[in-house]
Structure 1
Amino acid sequence: MTSRAKPTNVPAQSQPWPGRTTEMDPQPDHGEHSHTGRERLVGKKALITGGDSGIGRATAIAFAKEGADVAIAYLPQEQADAEATRAAVEDAGRSCALLPTDQRTESANVDLAAAAVDALGEIHVLVNNAGFQMAQTGGITGFPSGQLEQVFETNVFAGFWLTKAIVPHLGSGSSVIFTTSIQAYDPSEPLLDYAATKAALNNLMVNLAADLGPQGIRVNAVAPGPIWTPLIPSTFDAEKVKDFGADTPLGRPGQPVEVAAAFVFLASDEASYVSGTVLGVTGGKAIF
């Protein structure tokens, strides 16, 4: 049994949003040493949003170890984490373009798509992973002004706009993957707005699979459960973070590298007949 498969007791902790990987206890596993590449993405070029940390970093590293070059988008204030991702990708022998972007406008996503194509030459895989949440315990009346807009702009609008801008650059056999969540199926009250965005992404993914299928473009989603990323200690209070993930059937939080494996499969030619589906990585919690 690998170390990441053992139950992990997460101590109470918090940090300012958007969070820093280096301040997390325990340190998450992004696959720098635990992911073994099998040449499943050789020659592919991928754009990964939210690629500086957490699931995005692990996906970038896994893609690199499978033979892909990557570009990662991230908020400008996350530069230090993005540099760490690039170093890990380069250690795997692939290139990593850094594209700092706040994706909350359509024009920003048009520019991001152009920058990614310019950096990589072509795009075969788009991973719409960037996301924002902020837990609120006061019910709908306790949500601060502007949070709903930030959550939907980041989680739904950005992915829509970026996909729209990237599609003209995708050929047959390309793959678009969204990060949704167990929250789309089993929503938590403190994440009222976030859960709604993830349900919306599931619907968007299915419709895009139908829309883009005739072009040979596959569209899927990965729905993580409780995964140990900087988003957790930076968006929940310290006591909520304590024992994070212990309520799953597997009794622990997932590690980012464990989610990255799902993205590798969906991006690879092994998934050539997989489109319009959600792949759950939830520690045993049901998605249906």
Structure 2
Amino acid sequence: MELVNRTTVKEFILLAFSSLQQLQILLFIVVLLMYIISIAGNFAIIILVKTGSSLHSPMYFFISVFSALELSFVSVTIPKLLSNLIVADRRISFINCFLQLYAFNALGVTECYMFAVMAFDRDLAINHPLRYSTVMNSMTCVILAIFPFAISFIIALIPTVVTAQLTFCGPNQINHFFCDLAPVQNLACSNAFISNLVTSIAAVFASLTPFVVVLGLYTHIIITITRIKSVEGKHKALSTCSSHLTAACLFYGSVIIVYLNPKGSQYDKFLALVYTVIVPMLNPFIYTLRNKDVKETFYKLSIFKTRACK
């Protein structure tokens, strides 16, 4: 209540893609289809990992956790975007704006650290195969799955609270399709220097640090793979981590470009579409089309359901 009383702005207007008036319906259809594909695809992965006995391993456990994370991540912003594209009312209350801002950033940072956890899992499996099953027991997997959530919700809280302490007296139009740090900070009447600085520092710990960890782990993995003599062995090692590396590059690439610039730019909302809509939609395909075990499990389940129907 104290935060609300510090400002005369009671609500914000999400401009989204209002400048593209003639493309609103088309954009709505495209985003809706991608959202449906993302929800269905990630939910399918969770079901496959849960029901397929051959997928009961640490690697697929982390993939299923990541898919559940993706379901939450896309649902924080996309429903509001879809509403804005077809409804003239683009308002969002002050409190709901900051709740969305915090949830989005917390889940986004969690994804960054989850990529690092998944990279660690692959590094351990490839470089220490004999110790892998001992180290990656069920308790270790649960701890590693919880860790990204714990650290990320703390990291995201700091810039959110600092930004909420700013004074907002107008204008209240956010040039984005969801409430994010830079677009909201740009509307502050008070000096946003500290808030921008805190956001930049948080971005280093939120995205750059786990990205460096992922880069280091995959460098270690690639060095190990180059030492494998057999072509079959190299292919098998690459197949277990290539999909994860592809997804990580797509996500980190767009996120780092946006969040290392605290003041933001006019292109941020278009880049945001990449990691809020496109990447979550592609991830189920990346993890299934290039994964033999997942495809075999899907095929077995399809055959079983077909026979059950008969």
Tell me which protein shows more helix as a share of its residues: 2
Q: Give the TM-score of the pair, scaled to structure 1.
A: 0.31
Structure whose CA Rg is larger:
2
**TM-score normalised according to structure 2 size:** 0.29
Give the structure with the higher percent strand.
1
